[in-house]
Chain A
């Protein structure tokens, strides 16, 4: 009996110590959304449960190892105890109740996390290998950074142009995959101004690791002025070269094609227009409008020597957009 009392006290003490330690370790990143508060509440509950369960098993185990250790020279067996059915039933039924309660709490917690505000601002998120693009249909702007006003719920309507990606800002906690062929949704209510990053959480190929872009939460007034600036910029940017540059940025072309001559996965665009390009079949071709347009539409039609194994995904552009991109490439000298 004495052993049981000691172990019970030790289990409680260990639970307290483990929990205090984990709590002090500040395990979660900054809490920057109402969804994060919900999730952190559940996390804290789980830390309590983890601390207790860990102590409940480890403490009696180490206690036994020390106290019931075989004495030197003792070759006899221990007391013959085969089992105890009431005890087995107890430690089946109690955990059963506990997990059902936890799952019940988890369902409520999920409902709170997903709760949508009908007045939420809609932002369309487009994920592509390996970049993000954010469209604000209300304001008619498209950006590379996700600007969000503090305290207002945003509804992200997310699409992928190629493979599965996953939208995750650790400070907001919630995560949702972008699935080709459908629109997935995510509600986020930012609560803390600051600069964060959206990080693609679903393996999406070669440069998955670098598929990160800024997410900036500002107060309402700053957000409004940011919107007007972007709108003014968009109006100014209506030349073919500028439209082309915007398309290039929006589609993440620079992930593979450098504009300064440095080596990347695909051929550089620096000094490309008008130059003579060696192809993998041994012939060569002049990089004129037709060649560049073809290379964007059907990347595998003519493969530049040395890039045989780097398969560029096909992009869907209109002919005007391609002309804009080519116009931009012409400026890179």
Chain B
């Protein structure tokens, strides 16, 4: 017999429900299309996917928490869609086949999607307390979680649980985005279209031909990875920042839970875009291309819009927490350096994210209501979109990397047993990068046809980013210099991060030089460059942080040997991948193409790149196995594993439910390694008063 609430019963139900959902969808498709349903058509696939995912969580967890959220999202989407379909039918609107190729018409899908998101949030229970308050019912300040794994699948107000929920969701999405990359990377291994054939009789998945599906995968790879990065940094920040500043929780625990849970239906919307015709616009979604793309692009727009709420509310919470809830004695210049990075990143996320939401909303409205924001035929301007879009999307890369750079600065002193060199300069350089980052957006638009004279000031501002970034590198090197360096897995990833981020850094200025960028723009050079910055600024530090704080969360260490295998497999694969990308980019390889001219002679290099991509995938698989194994069987590590001065390591692991049972007071500098008898924090019952 299958036991209730296990992975096994989840997987079994996944298979059964997937098949049932597919059958229902196939039948519906047959009805709609008048007898010619497609095997991999949009409707059967969508139904199979929704049924299977919901059923998996039902088997794993029962009808509550995330399961209830997903079921409600499905129902909300259908009801919202039917509502609009009904109104449109009553109004006798034309162009509204009741159930078109995509089951609903576009306005019905958009309304349904938004209803689905709201239904998810109500269903999962993250609004329960607020709705009770609105009805005049009191709720307890804290909700106690039951011990065990089940709390991770429902609403918890504990920042540590939410941090882990964020991190795990990020890892799941990284796997999905990485899988997409592997698919199109495999197609690119050789010139000519192989399995992603342009012939609809040979390749037709979700009503898309090979090149169309390539474009969808490539676009979703970008956006899913971006969302997973945003969730990943929120994961680390949520788990670590309250511990570092000595708070019991985040300032607004319910909003914290809301910020996490709103990202889940957002991810569902993003994946839905794939089955609703996909979209061929890249993650940048430039109109007029995006105003002509299939319905899928609407799911993409609103998925990003919804995920933006997570980012904005999460950032607001971090800022409030750091401003109001620091331990006694923790002045600004005595905060752990990671907290500075979290603040810098949150300032950007809280104030710039609105712009990407707005720009996508405007294209969505252009499609739905005929508003001509970016349509030259109606007096609109396609280049305006690019300004709005990049006003967020450039600073966004600093949102991605600043926490990672914070992790590097936070971990280096521990493993070199020396103070962080130039603490104030590193702290200020984070703010400097964040602020300069707001005035460089148009360097993505040097070829866009914007006013020619604007290009030079943006070249100057872009080059300025090199200065605070340089301060970080020099200070890190000065920290390492003369230290007593040991290299356990987290430190390996920190060092890898420095080298890889450096590669991203030195390949940046060529793009800032306008004339040179006229050659580099939209080539694989740029693809290589930003993968370097993102791997160096996020992926490597993210892994470092997981290896480093894993014992804090679980009381066990991850396996050191397999951690090193992970590092030594991923690093060379990744370096070769981006070197190769930059090389062919300079020689004429354009971005975002499903196939390339064999005459360019890139076949061998692309084959190598594909092999490297699989090398990275294998290393990440090893990491996943290591994590899952170590949760139960890892070596016990309940004390100060890394011999750190940081407050969270002065208490036992795993961290108690309400963090510090005895509050602490800051009595020294955070990184005074090598200074005899110095302490950063002192625990005492009288330290309860907050700074």
**Chain A residues within 8 Å of B, Cβ to Cβ:** 25, 27-29, 35, 38-39, 42-43, 46, 49-50, 53-54, 57-58, 60-61, 64-65, 68-71, 74, 76-85, 87-88, 91-92, 95-96, 99-100, 102-103, 106-107, 109-110, 112-114, 162-164, 166, 168, 170, 173-177, 179-182, 184, 197, 199-210, 212, 263-265, 282, 305-306, 308-309, 311, 313
Contacts and interface: CB of A to CB of B under 8 A. Distances in A.
A203 B281 contact: yes
A27 B587 contact: yes
A99 B381 CA distance: 33
A60 B481 contact: yes
Given A53-B506, A61-B499, A83-B421, A99 B521 contact: no
Contacts of A263: 199-201
Given A85-B422, A87-B478, A103-B456, 7 more contacts: A28-B587, A43-B519, A64-B485, A100-B463, A107-B459, A112-B515, A209-B595
B470 A95 contact: yes
B418 A78 contact: yes
A174 B422 contact: no
A293 to B, nearest CB: 22
A174 B519 contact: yes
Contacts of B499: 58, 61
A25 B580 CA distance: 12
Contacts of A38: 515
Contacts of A96: 464, 467
Interface string B487-505: 1000000010011001101
Contacts of A35: 515
Given A58-B502, A60-B481, A201-B521, A181 B382 contact: yes
A81 B467 contact: no
Given A29-B587, A170-B587, A210 B595 contact: yes
Interface string B502-517: 1101110110111110
27 contacts: A49-B506, A64-B483, A68-B480, A68-B481, A68-B482, A80-B419, A81-B419, A81-B421, A82-B419, A83-B421, A85-B422, A91-B470, A92-B470, A99-B467, A106-B459, A106-B513, A113-B518, A162-B288, A164-B382, A170-B519, A176-B447, A182-B449, A201-B447, A201-B521, A203-B592, A207-B211, A311-B294
A58 B498 CA distance: 9
Contacts of B473: 57
B111 interface: no
Contact of A99 (B201, B463, B486): B463
B422 A46 contact: no
A88 B588 contact: no
Nearest to B376: A181
Contacts of A71: 484
Contact of B215 (A46, A180, A206): A206
Interface centre among A58, A77, A197, A313 (most CB of B within 10 A): A77
Most A CB contacts (10 A, CB to CB) among B419, B522, B590, B591 go to B590
B518 to A, nearest CB: 5
B583 A27 contact: yes
B25 interface: no
Contacts of A103: 456, 459-460, 463, 512
Contact of A88 (B422, B515, B518): B422
A308 B595 contact: no
A208 B503 CA distance: 30
B544 to A, nearest CB: 16
Interface in B255-271: none
Nearest to A179: B449
Contact of B485 (A69, A80, A205): A69
Contacts of A204: 289
B662 to A, nearest CB: 26
A251 B209 CA distance: 22
A175 B424 CA distance: 42
Given A39-B518, A208-B593, A163 B447 contact: no
B145 to A, nearest CB: 38
Nearest to A199: B590
A39, A68, A106, A264: residue with the most chain B Cβ atoms closer than 10 Å? A106
A53 B481 CA distance: 17
Interface residues of B, number: 103
Contact of A80 (B211, B423, B597, B674): B674
B423 A83 contact: yes
A208 B200 CA distance: 17
Contact of A68 (B215, B419, B485, B673): B485
Contacts of A311: 292, 294
Contact of A92 (B201, B471, B486, B505): B471
B67 to A, nearest CB: 33
Given A27-B587, A78-B418, A99 B207 contact: no
A286 B503 CA distance: 62
Interface in B371-411: 376-377, 381-383
Contacts of A68: 416, 480-485
Contacts of A176: 447, 449, 518
Contacts of A184: 449
Contact of A100 (B36, B460, B586): B460
The 3 closest A-B pairs by CB, nearest first: A181-B376, A170-B588, A209-B593
B417 A78 contact: yes
B485 A70 contact: yes
A205 B587 contact: no
Given A83-B422, A203-B280, A209-B596, A50 B463 contact: no
B373 to A, nearest CB: 13
Contacts of A174: 515, 518-519
A46 B513 contact: yes
A177 B34 contact: no
A190 to B, nearest CB: 15
A100 B461 CA distance: 10
A72 to B, nearest CB: 10
A119 B212 CA distance: 43
A99 B464 contact: yes
B672 interface: yes
A77 B418 contact: yes
A166 B447 contact: yes
A42 to B, nearest CB: 5
A180 B594 contact: no
Contacts of A113: 515, 518
Nearest to A80: B674
A38 B595 CA distance: 30
Nearest to B445: A177
B516 A28 contact: no
Among A61, A168, A309: residue with most chain B CB under 10 A: A309
Contact of B382 (A46, A112, A114, A180): A180
B130 interface: no
Nearest to B522: A201
B631 interface: no
A68 B593 CA distance: 47
B377 A181 contact: yes
Nearest to A300: B95
Contacts of B36: 305-306
A217 to B, nearest CB: 16
A149 B282 CA distance: 36
B466 interface: yes
A236 B376 CA distance: 37
A166 B522 contact: yes
Contact of A107 (B212, B456, B467, B595): B456
